[in-house]
Each structure stands twice: as structure tokens, then as C-alpha cells.
Chains A and B, each alone.
Chain A
Amino acid sequence: MSARRLKAAGLWVATFLLMLVMCLPGLWVVLSAFRPNREILAKPPIWVPQRLTLDNFGKIFGFGAEQVAIPVGSYFLNSLVIAMTSTVIALAVGIAGGYAFARFRFRGKNAVFLGLMLFRAVPGIALSLPIFMLWSWIGLINTRPGLIIVYVSLNVPFTVWLIDGFFRQIPASLSEAALVDGCTRWQAFWRIEFPLARSGIAAAGVFAFLTSWNEFALASQLTRSTASKTLPVGLMDFTAQFTIDWAGMCAMAVIIIVPALILTFLVQRHLISGLTFGGVKG
């Protein structure tokens, strides 16, 4: 092995170790989710795990003998239903809006675009104050639809922005050729442009799902009970308990992070190009 290659390998190992140290805090939480609470609380600390167990997961979902105060199962279901429904709606709205921006010229285009982006700058708590009051009056507080509607509005600007960028990368001449060949514009869209933009749209869907899945500020004010509480709100409930069940909380954290890990990994290719294409190249 030449000195040059040795140096390159050394650099790689050093960088890898550095990245690993960076990930350590997260990995420690994941590891703690598989340890008994006794071991976490032990003094002096037990560094090498003596027993790894899935009990924490069973316990928070209520499978164990003891009763748990936090109904993680229903929070999980709420999170899943709310995130998936709001993603599907945001995608439908976003595809229509993104296509309009990418393929048409019309009056007030820039104003509408800027308006959408400005709405995105409104912080969650600022939006939660009036929505809390309005939803209380019309009975949407502490319901799944109440949160779904809010999450759709959170995701629409970014979804429009991303999908606009993806449609622009598809040459307009392709669908024009289809029009010449006798397709309607509707057919040209579904047969030519949609399939080409599909992976980009999927990435936009993942971003929307993750936004809803992780959202806390609005959910913490607009949900009250198991009828609509999501996982992030449930995690806060844990910290408010009299005796803190660190192992249980770590297990819950793992439940929240696993879907995020898988989904982000799937769209990794778009994460770098999505952030830059969406942001830089518009």
C-alpha cells in the first residue's frame, strides 16, 4: 500500500470516528431504551450493559403486568393517522399548486408564491394562539381532524415549493409532444409528467410526513387526551410524571425516531438535492 493510500485511509478512519462521537448522544438514548431502568439509575454507574431487554417497549404499550399511566399505544395510532392523512392531503394540494407554478404564467404569480413562503415563517406558537381559540369554539379542539387541517397548512408551502422544482426539471417539450399526438393535457400530465416527477413527489411526501410526525408546539396546545394526543406530546407527559421512568422514555424516543430514520434513509438522495434544489434553484 502506498503512503498516499495509507494517508487517505487514515483520514477516513479519523473522520468516521469523529462522526461516531457526534452520534454518541443519540446512540446512548437508543442503548438506554434496551436497558432496565434499575441499571440506568444505578450509582455508581454501570457502563457496560449487563442485560439487554425489550421489556421497556412491552411495558409502555401496556403488555406488561404493571399498569402504565401513559397510553403510548393510542398516541402511536394518533400520530400515524394524523401524519399520514395530512401528508396525503398536502401532497394532493401541493401537486396541483406546484404544477401551476412550474407550467403556467399568470398574473400575480410571484405575489402568490411569496405569500405562501411568508406564511411558512409564522411560528407554531403564534399560530396556535388563535387556532386554539377558534378550534375551541367550533369543536375541533382535541380531535384528529383539527390537527390534520393544521398540519396540511403547515406542509402546503414547502410541498408546493419542492414539487414546483421537480416539475421544472422535466422538459415541457415532452408533454407538448404528447399534446401533438392527441393527448389531452390531463392525460399528458398523468402519463408523462407525473411518472417522471414521482420520486421527487415521494420525497416531498416524506418531508411532509416527518414534519407532522415530529411537530410539538401546536399539538401540545390543540390536543388534550388520548382522543388526539400524538407521540411528541406523550413524551412530554412522561417528563411530568412523579417518578421519571427514563427507560420507558428512551423506549418511546426510539419509537419516534425509527420511522424517521427509515424514511430519511430512503430519501437520502433527495435530502441533499431536495434541500438545495428546493432552496437554491427553486
Chain B
Amino acid sequence: MTALLRTHRTDPAPFLLLAPAVLVMLSVVALPLVFSLWTSLTPYRLTRPETIGAFIGLRNYIRLFSDGAFWAAFGRTLLFLVIALNVEFLLGLGIALLINRITWGQRTLRTVMMFPMMFSPILVGFQFKFLFNDHIGIVNNALQSLGLIDFAIPWLVDGRLAMFSIIFAEVWMSTSVFAILLLAGLFAMPRDPIEAAKVDGCNPWQVFRHITLPFLMPFVYIAMTIRSLDVARAYDIVKVMTDGGPAGRTELLWTLIARTGYENARMGQANAMAYVSTVLSVLFTWYFARKLIAARRTMGGAE
């Protein structure tokens, strides 16, 4: 260790430097979360302010266990997560391998590839609401002009099609995130093992299966971690495209929570829902953060 790092235990510098960050996080995140925990133990409604003082214990949480709408939304979020992540991963891997093979003009391709990443979720939601619109959307217009269909497909009006459209939007937005992270992994990969395997007579599939893929796994892991946290909190895209409709068929966890809290004004219940969902996702982060540190170690040389 260098001299600068060897600070005295009583050196106040790091604590002073960290104070603003800690202060901001405590006052704008931690304190509200404590308040939110209290609210979840009351029957608080926005329309009846006096109810915030009424302590009802865990009743909101107990009610949650038998709340069909909550678990339906939970199931839909899980389904959304599993399908979207796997499709994004496979497409992203394909694109990364393709771009990695190109030696000349790769930079241009990478720039074009990143185009969807620059769209915020709210824009992606609006964009596909426009594209999948049954009257004027380009999807139906194209299908009709090509003579493939002679009626308008109700993309966002039918429950299953609406779910498909939302997943499609999510995949469009985030495939390039996977591609770029996996591409970074491919760049970091040493060439020697691949050359050696080729000399030993491995075919391209064997090289991919036994050398490239194992090396890429930490990167897959990191991409999955980053993405799964974002997908689990999906709100913007659904809000714009269907707002949970038709008839609640695309209601995900966070649209349901926002509806319970703001539209139905049942803040106590909404906070209980949010707490259960947040604790689940924080546990998730904690678990992956530890895995991430382990993955970092196995990659070596990074520390």
C-alpha cells in the first residue's frame, strides 16, 4: 500500500468527503423509506388525512397474501422478466458475436447498434404505442398493404397481444445493452486459447461452447443483474402503452402499486405492496452484488 492510502484511523478527511453523499441518501431515500414503513402499518388514505395516526399492525401485509390482483401482477411481472431477459440475451449474444467478427468499420456498426439505447423507456413506450396503433400504426398498415391481413389486428386492445407488444418494446430497447456488455467481454478475451483449440481441430461450435461461452459467463451474469433489476421495476413502458389495460391484463407490480396509492388513494396498502416488492428486489441486488464480487475475482487481474 502506498503512503497516501495509509491514513490514520482518526483522519476525518474520508468522512467529511462522504458526508454530503450520505446526508443526501439518508434524507431523501432512507428517511422517506422509514416513513413509508410506518404508513404501511396504518390504513392511511389520501382522502382521509387523520387515518395516518391509526396503527393497525401488519393488517395491510396480511391482506396482501390473499390479494389476487397483487399476485396476478407479481406473476405477470415474473413472466415479463423471464421472457424479456432471455430473448434480449439470445439476440444480444448473436449481435455481439456478429459484430466481433467484423474487423473493418466496426465502430460505425457499434454506433448504429446503440441507437435504441438512447431512447428512454417513456419514449420507447410512446413509440410502440404509435407503431402498434390499430388504425394508423405502421405495423398494421404494412401488414394490410402487403395483403397479409384484411382486418386491423388489435395489438394493444387484446390482452395477450398487448403483453406481447410490451415485451417487444422492452426487447427493442434493451437488446443492445446486452450486446454491448457481451461485446466488451469478447474484446477482453485472450486469443491464444481459441487458436490452440483450432489447431487441435475443434470446430467453431466446440470453440464457442467450451471456450468463448465459459469466458463470457461473468459478463452474461453482470448483464443479467443490471437488466433484471431494471425490468423488475418496469413502469414507464406499460404506463404509456396500455396503462395496465385492457381490463388489467397487462397490470404489472409497479403500475398496480401506483394505481392503489394515487388513483385509489389507498396509501397505506400501496406502501405495504411497495415494501414487499422493494425488499424482494433489494435482496435480489444484495445476492447479485455478492455474486458480482465473486465473478470479478474469477476474472482476475481486475483488482
B207 at the interface (CB under 8 A from A): no
Q: Confirm or deny: A221 has a beta carbon within 8 angstroms of a beta carbon on chain B.
A: yes
Count A interface residues, CB 8 Å.
101
Q: Which residues does chain A contribute within 8 Å of B113, judged by CB atoms? A: 19, 22
| Contact with A97, one of B20, B120, B126, B267 (Cβ below 8 angstroms) | B20
Q: Are A260 and B118 in touch, CB under 8 angstroms?
A: yes
A63 within 8 A of B: no
Known contacts A8-B102, A216-B121, A239-B129; is-contact A125 B15 (Cβ 8 Å): no
Q: Are B24 and A93 in contact (CB under 8 A)?
A: yes
Q: Which of B33-41, B63-71, B82-90, B196-204 contacts A (4 or more CB under 8 A)?
A: B33-41
Residue of A nearest to B168 (CB): A25
Which stretch in B54-62, B176-184, B208-216 binds the other chain?
B176-184
Instruction: Compute how far the CA of A96 lies from the CA of B130 in the bound complex, rounded to whole angstroms.
Output: 44
Q: Chain B interface: which of A48-56, A194-202, A268-276? A: A268-276
Q: A8-B103, A129-B274 are in contact. Are A23 and B112 (CB under 8 A)?
A: yes
Q: Does B161 contact A (CB under 8 A)?
A: no
- Is B117 an interface residue when CB atoms closer than 8 A count as contact? yes
A121/B229 contact (C-beta < 8 A), A28-B131, A272-B183, A281-B296 known: yes
Contacts of B175 in A (CB 8 A): 22
| Interface membership of chain B positions 28-58, coded 1 if the CB is closer than 8 angstroms to chain A and 0 otherwise | 1110110110010000000000000000000
B contact face: mostly helix, strand, loop, or mixed? helix
Q: Is B74 an interface residue (CB 8 A)?
A: no
Cβ contact within 8 Å between A122 and B14: no
Given contacts A125-B258, A129-B270, A280-B299, contact A235 B126 (CB under 8 A): yes
Q: How long is the Cα–Cα vector from A10 to B121 in the complex, in angstroms?
A: 34
B249 at the interface (CB under 8 A from A): no
Q: Please report which residues of chain A, range 69-115, place their CB below 8 angstroms from some CB of chain B when the two chains form the complex.
A: 92-94, 96-97, 99-101, 103-107, 109, 112, 114-115
> Which residues of B lie under 8 Å from residue A134 when comparing CB positions?
32, 35
Docked CA distance A228–B113 (Å) = 34
- The reply to whether A40 and B136 form a contact with Cβ atoms under 8 Å apart is yes
Contact across chains for B33 and A122 when beta carbons are under 8 A apart? yes
Q: Are A96 and B17 in contact (CB under 8 A)?
A: yes
A261 at the interface (CB under 8 A from B): yes
Give the contacting residue for A117; candidates B7, B103, B284, B289; CB below 8 A. B289
B72 at the A interface (CB under 8 A): no
The answer on a CB contact under 8 Å between A15 and B102 is yes
- Which single residue of chain B is at the shortest CB-CB distance from A114? B289
A153 partner, pick from B25, B123, B181, beta carbons under 8 A: B25
Q: Digitize B216-230: 1 where CB-to-A-CB distance is under 8 Å, 0 elsewhere.
A: 001100100010010
B109 in the interface (beta carbon within 8 A)? yes
Tell me the B252-303 residues at the A interface (CB within 8 Å): 254, 257-258, 261-262, 267, 270-271, 274-275, 277-278, 281-282, 284-286, 289, 292, 296, 299, 302
On whether the beta carbons of B119 and A249 are closer than 8 Å, the reply is no
Is B112 within 8 A of A16, CB to CB?
yes
**A12–B21 touching, CB < 8 Å:** no
Contacts of A214 in B (CB 8 A): 120-123
A246 at the interface (CB under 8 A from B): yes
Q: Which residues of B contact A (CB under 8 A)?
A: 1-7, 9, 11, 13-15, 17-18, 20-22, 24-25, 28-30, 32-33, 35-36, 39, 95, 98-99, 101-105, 108-123, 126-131, 135-136, 138, 141, 145, 172, 175-176, 180-181, 183-184, 218-219, 222, 226, 229, 232-233, 235-236, 239-240, 254, 257-258, 261-262, 267, 270-271, 274-275, 277-278, 281-282, 284-286, 289, 292, 296, 299, 302
Instruction: Mark A residues whose CB is within 8 Å of B.
Output: 8, 11-12, 15-16, 18-20, 22-23, 25-26, 28-29, 32, 40-41, 43-45, 47, 92-94, 96-97, 99-101, 103-107, 109, 112, 114-134, 149-150, 152-153, 156-157, 160, 172-173, 175-176, 179, 185, 210, 213-214, 216-217, 220-221, 232, 235-236, 239, 246, 249-250, 253, 256-257, 260-261, 264-265, 268, 271-273, 275-276, 279-282
Interchain Cβ contacts under 8 Å between A and B, 17 examples:
A26-B115, A45-B138, A97-B17, A103-B4, A109-B14, A117-B289, A119-B30, A125-B233, A125-B235, A126-B257, A127-B33, A132-B262, A134-B32, A149-B28, A213-B120, A250-B130, A281-B296
Q: A117-B285, A156-B21, A260-B119 are in contact. List 14 more A-B contacts (CB 8 A).
A: A29-B127, A45-B136, A96-B21, A104-B14, A105-B1, A105-B7, A106-B7, A126-B275, A130-B271, A175-B4, A176-B3, A253-B126, A264-B118, A279-B181
Chain A to chain B: the 3 pairs with minimum beta-carbon distance, closest first: A214-B120, A153-B28, A123-B233
